[in-house]
Structure 1
Amino acid sequence: MKIGNIDIKNNVALAPMAGVTDLSFRLLCKEQNVGLIYTEMVSAKGLYYGDKKTEELMKIKQEERPVSLQIFGSDPNIMAKVVKEKLNYKDDFDILDINMGCPTPKIVKNGDGSALMKNPKLIGKIVSEVVKASNKPVTVKIRKGWDHNKINAVEVAKIIEDSGASLLAIHGRTREEFYSGKADWGIIKNVKEAIEIPVLGNGDIFSPLDAKEMLEYTNCDGVMIGRGARGNPWIFNRTLKLLSEGILPSEPTNREKINMCIKHLELLVHYKGEQIAVKDIRKHIGWYTKGMHNSSAIRGQSNKFNNKEKIIYLLNEYIDSIE
C-alpha cells in the first residue's frame, strides 16, 4: 500500500486510541509487524498554544515508522498554522492524519472529532488548508455519519478526496452509536466504491478472520484495528499470517499474555516513570487477563499497588495459580 509518497509494507494498521496507543503500546504492536501506526490524537490548539502535555503525546521512536501523527481541531487556520510552524519541522513521523471521527463528549462539544460530520463544507476547508500547509501526505479518519438521520460518509469522503487527502479511514458507526451495536461494513464498501484514494476499514475487527472478512466484503485497501488490539498486540502478526499465507496461528497462551503485560509495564516505566506507569497499566491488565479464570480479582488487586515490582509479583503469582 502507498500513502502519498510513503510505502507501507502491509495493509494492517493500528487505530489511534486516546489513552491506549502511547509509545509503549505502539512498540509492542510494531514487534508484531503492524504495517502502519497511528499516534494518540493531538490537539491542534494545544500545539498552537505550546501545551507541554500535548507535545508529550508526540514522542515517536525511529523503530515505529512509518508513523501517522494524528491531530484534531476544527479551525482550518489554526490547524494550517500549526502544521507550517511546528509539524513540518518534525522529521520523526511520515503521515499527518486529521481526526474527524472521535465520538467522546469533551471532543465533540468543541466542534471537533465526529462533530465535523455535521459540517461537510468545513471538512473540505480543513483538509484543503492542511494539505496546502503540510510537507507530508495528509489522511483523514471519519465515521459513518453523525446519527441515523445524517449518514453522509460517502458525500464527506468525496469532499475529502477532492480536497487533496491521500487516504481515508472510516469507522462503520455513527457518532450517536459510539461503540454500541454492530459496525456497518456496507458503508465502508460504499465509500470504497465512491473514491479513488486508498480506504482503510475500521470497526469490529476482533480477530484475523474479521479482518479477512472485512477486506473481502468491502474491497477496502486495508484494515485498521482498534479495540481488538487492546491486550492483544498479537492480532497484527496473526492477521498478516492469515492474509499472506492462509495460516491462522494459534492464540497466545495465558502465560504469554501475562509476560506481554509485564513487558508492557516495563516499557511504560521506561518512558513515563514508575508513578504514571503503574496507573496506566491497570486498564491494560484488565484487557490482557480478559477471559482468564478469576481475572476480576487480579484487576482489583492491581489497583491497590503503586509499585512496579509488586504488580509484577502479583501477575507472576496469578499465572502460576491458574496454570
Structure 2
Amino acid sequence: MRWSDLNLGCPLTSARDGHYGAYLLGQKDWPLVENIVSGLTHALPVPISTKIRLCNPVKHTLPFAERLVLAGSSWIALHARSGASTRKRRHGPANLSQVKLLKECLQVPVISNGNVRTYGDVLQNLEFTRADGVMVGETLLGNPCLFAGATPDPVQISLEYLEICKQCPEGSVDLEAAKKHVKHFVDFQCSRRTWISKFIRALTACRTIEEVDKLLRVKTQRWRGKSPLPRDAVDVEEDSEGEKISGDGYDDLALLV
C-alpha cells in the first residue's frame, strides 16, 4: 500500500528553526496544518497519514487529532511524548494512555509509537492501547529484525547489510551513513563490551565498504573470541601465532529467537 505521510513529530533544532515537524503542534498553527492535510488529500491519489506528538497541554492532543481526521488524514500515528525539547525528546516513558484515548475516540486507524525495545514490548503496547499497529524508530536501527521477534547476531546482520550496499549502483551508497548503520547494529548488543571503543575507532577509520566488511569478519570476530569469517573479498591473513586464518563462514553465528 502506498500513502503520503506528514511528519509532525520531529523535535530537532532544525525543525524548530524551519518551523516544521513538532513545532507545528501549537494551536496557532492548527489551521495551517489542516490546510496542508486538506491540500494533500485533494492533490494526491494516495491516502494521507499524519504522525504527531503530544500537544502542550496534553489534553489538546485528541482535539488536534480529530481536526486532522476531518481535514482528510486517513490514519494517525502518535509518538506519545512531548516534542518541546530536542534533548528530552525521548525522556521518560511514552504516555501510551493518550494512544489508547485516540484509538477509543477516532474513526480512523491509530498507530502507537514509543516504549518499544523488544518484540515483547510490541505485544504489550498493542494489548494496552488496542492500536491498529506499532511504529518503531531508533530500536529498529539496532535490531532491524525486531518485528520478526528475533535478535540477529550483530556481525551477521552487519554483513548482510553490507551485501545490500554492494548491490547498489556505484556511488549511490553514502559510506558514512553505511558506517553509522553498522555502528548501530553492533553497539545495540555490544555497547558494554570492553572492545567496543576499539571497534568504533576502527570503523571510523574505514575508507571503503570493503574495509568495513573486513573489520567485521576479522578483527571484530577476534575481539568477540570467535573465528574470523573468510570470504573471497577478504585476504587470508596470519594470526599472532603465524598461522593462516581458516573457517567455514557463518557456522558459528547464531540467530536468537
Give the shorter-chain TM-score range.
Answer: 0.7 to 0.9
Please list the CA deviations of residues 278-303 of structure 1 after superposition, one character each: whole Å capped at 9, or x if unmatched.
31122222211123232221111110
Count of aligned pairs = 215
Asked if 2 retains the 8 angstrom alpha-carbon contact of 1:278 and 1:305, the reply is no
Please list the CA deviations of residues 68-101 of structure 1 after superposition, one character each: whole Å capped at 9, or x if unmatched.
xxxxxxxxxxxxxxxxxxxxxxxxxx11111111
Q: Out of 268, 282, 288, which is 2:179 matched to?
A: 282
Q: Report the Cα distance in structure 2 between the residues aligned to 1:305 and 1:220, rounded to whole angstroms.
A: 43
**Structure with bigger gyration radius:** 2
What TM-score do you get using the length of structure 1 for normalisation? 0.62
Higher relative contact order (CA 8 A, sep 6+): 1
Note if 1:99 corresponds to 2:7: yes
Corresponding residue for residue 205 of structure 2: 304
Q: Report the Cα distance in structure 2 between the residues aligned to 1:298 and 1:274, rounded to whole angstroms.
A: 25
User: Pairwise mapping of residues 55-134 of structure 1 onto structure 2 (< 5 A)?
Assistant: 66=1, 94-118=2-26, 119-134=29-44
Please list the CA deviations of residues 248-282 of structure 1 after superposition, one character each: whole Å capped at 9, or x if unmatched.
x5x32xxx321221221232344364685431122
Alignment partner of 1:230: what SS? helix
Q: Given the superposition, is the C-alpha separation of residues 209 and 277 from structure 1 closer, same or farther in structure 2, using an over 3 Å criterion? A: same
Asked if 2 retains the 8 angstrom alpha-carbon contact of 1:200 and 1:222, the reply is yes
Q: Given the superposition, is the C-alpha separation of residues 280 and 193 from structure 1 closer, same or farther in structure 2, using an over 3 Å criterion? A: same
Q: Report the Cα distance in structure 2 between the residues aligned to 1:121 and 1:275, rounded to whole angstroms.
A: 39
Q: Report the Cα distance in structure 1 between the residues aligned to 2:161 and 2:59, rounded to whole angstroms.
A: 39
Corresponding residue for residue 257 of structure 1: 154
Q: Report the Cα distance in structure 2 between the residues aligned to 1:283 and 1:308, rounded to whole angstroms.
A: 12
Corresponding residue for residue 267 of structure 1: 164
Q: Out of 59, 67, 77, which is 1:169 matched to?
A: 77
Q: Given the superposition, is the C-alpha separation of residues 151 and 286 from structure 1 closer, same or farther in structure 2, using an over 3 Å criterion? A: farther
Note if 1:184 corresponds to 2:184: no
Q: For structure 1, which segment, 266-275 or 164-173, has the greater mean C-alpha deviation from structure 2 after superposition?
A: 266-275
Note if 1:319 corresponds to 2:221: yes
Q: Out of 152, 159, 178, which is 2:60 matched to?
A: 152
Asked if 1 retains the 8 angstrom alpha-carbon contact of 2:10 and 2:22, the reply is yes
Q: Report the Cα distance in structure 2 between the residues aligned to 1:110 and 1:321, rounded to whole angstroms.
A: 44
What TM-score do you get using the length of structure 2 for normalisation? 0.77
Q: Report the Cα distance in structure 2 between the residues aligned to 1:164 and 1:276, rounded to whole angstroms.
A: 36
Corresponding residue for residue 253 of structure 2: none
One-letter amino acid matched to 2:49: T
Please list the CA deviations of residues 171-201 of structure 1 after superposition, one character each: whole Å capped at 9, or x if unmatched.
0111124122211111111111120100000
Please list the CA deviations of residues 32-72 of structure 1 after superposition, one character each: whole Å capped at 9, or x if unmatched.
xxxxxxxxxxxxxxxxxxxxxxxxxxxxxxxxxx4xxxxxx
One-letter amino acid matched to 1:131: T
Q: Report the Cα distance in structure 2 between the residues aligned to 1:272 and 1:262, rounded to whole angstroms.
A: 18
**Which structure: greater strand fraction?**
1
Corresponding residue for residue 123 of structure 2: 212
Asked if 2 retains the 8 angstrom alpha-carbon contact of 1:169 and 1:202, the reply is yes
Q: Report the Cα distance in structure 2 between the residues aligned to 1:193 and 1:150, rounded to whole angstroms.
A: 16
One-letter amino acid matched to 2:9: G
Shift of 1:150: 5.5
Please list the CA deviations of residues 135-189 of structure 1 after superposition, one character each: whole Å capped at 9, or x if unmatched.
11111111112x4x45522111100111121111110111124122211111111
Please list the CA deviations of residues 213-258 of structure 1 after superposition, one character each: whole Å capped at 9, or x if unmatched.
11111111111111111121110111xxxxxxxxxx5x32xxx321
Q: For structure 1, which segment, 172-181 or 267-276, has the greater mean C-alpha deviation from structure 2 after superposition?
A: 267-276
Q: Out of 130, 139, 147, which is 2:49 matched to?
A: 139
